[in-house]
Amino acid sequence: MPQNHHAAGAPADRSTDIPQVGLAIITGSANWGLAFPEDIGFEGVRTLRRDMSFETPFGRTDNWKLLEFDASISAEGRAKRALCMYSHGNPRDHIDHSCHRRAFWVLMQAGVRQVLACSTVGAVNKAIQPGDMVVPADIIELTQTPFSLLPDRQSFDCSGKQIVCPRCAAVLVETARRHWPAECRVHGIEQQLVAAHCYGPRLTTPAEALAYRGMGADVLNHSIAPEATLAREIGACFVPCAFVTAGFNDYMDRNRQKLLQEDVLPNLSMTASLVALETAARLPANPQCSCQGLKSPQPEERSSRF
């Protein structure tokens, strides 16, 4: 397994100054065991700064990197920068569900307009198999997590009609279909698949898997829904880059103690990381997208008059 290392010319940085960037990459279980992007060996991407920490109204958030995409690989032929966070913004030693709120506060301050989030999912739709990539079109989030609320939330509305950006999804799917193993499938946003949110780190029980399937879910995940919600709150496009590590039969077989297919993650994490980096490079720096119209201001008198 590649070692987690500092890239040459990428000094540790405890700065509280948030760089102004238009793009963010969120790493997750899809990239575990890899130093992202250093281990991927993707030509034209380098780490400018790493080990960055930022203070937020909700506490400090750590383990950030500042990346640069060379002009030779970007959509417009100009260099661009991106913020990259470790494992959805979690600390390195434990799971913290409030990490999403801190992370997206940073992205809001940075002026981020596009968010690409990497993760893995479990499939409760029998037609979706371990090793497949899934770009869902919708979410089920029953808790409406309190950690997905940012300051000044009463002053605007966010539509859930287009929770995943179709423009970004098209770039991701086209990229993935060139790199993904031929024996696996890439399920695009046009299939209108649904990702249900369930809090980790405990993996889903058979009864829970059946319940989510009955509600219309195709896959289950611990991060897509809050990140999609928060992306809407900061007015950014959002697309998940996720692949399946457990299928329906894996959830239902009570005689098999382990849920996840052990060979899927190590075999696909490098490919998924490559797809994420190439997609990020291909996304335009200043997109004109309908996603930006999904955040709408509320009349001032609704909060000023009482």
User: How do the domains of the chain map onto residue ranges?
Assistant: 23-304
Tokens 């301050």 belong to residue? 109
Mean pLDDT of 25-34: 94
Residue-level pLDDT at 306: 76
Residue-level pLDDT at 175: 99
Cα–Cα distance, 169 to 189 (Å, whole number): 7
> Higher pLDDT residue, 305 or 18?
18
> Is residue 146 very low, low, confident or very high in pLDDT (cuts 50, 70, 90)?
low
pTM: 0.91
Find the length of the chain: 306
Mean pLDDT of 267-296: 93
> Higher pLDDT residue, 300 or 45?
45
**pLDDT of 304 over the 80 cut:** no
- CATH 3.40.50.1580 matches 23-304: yes
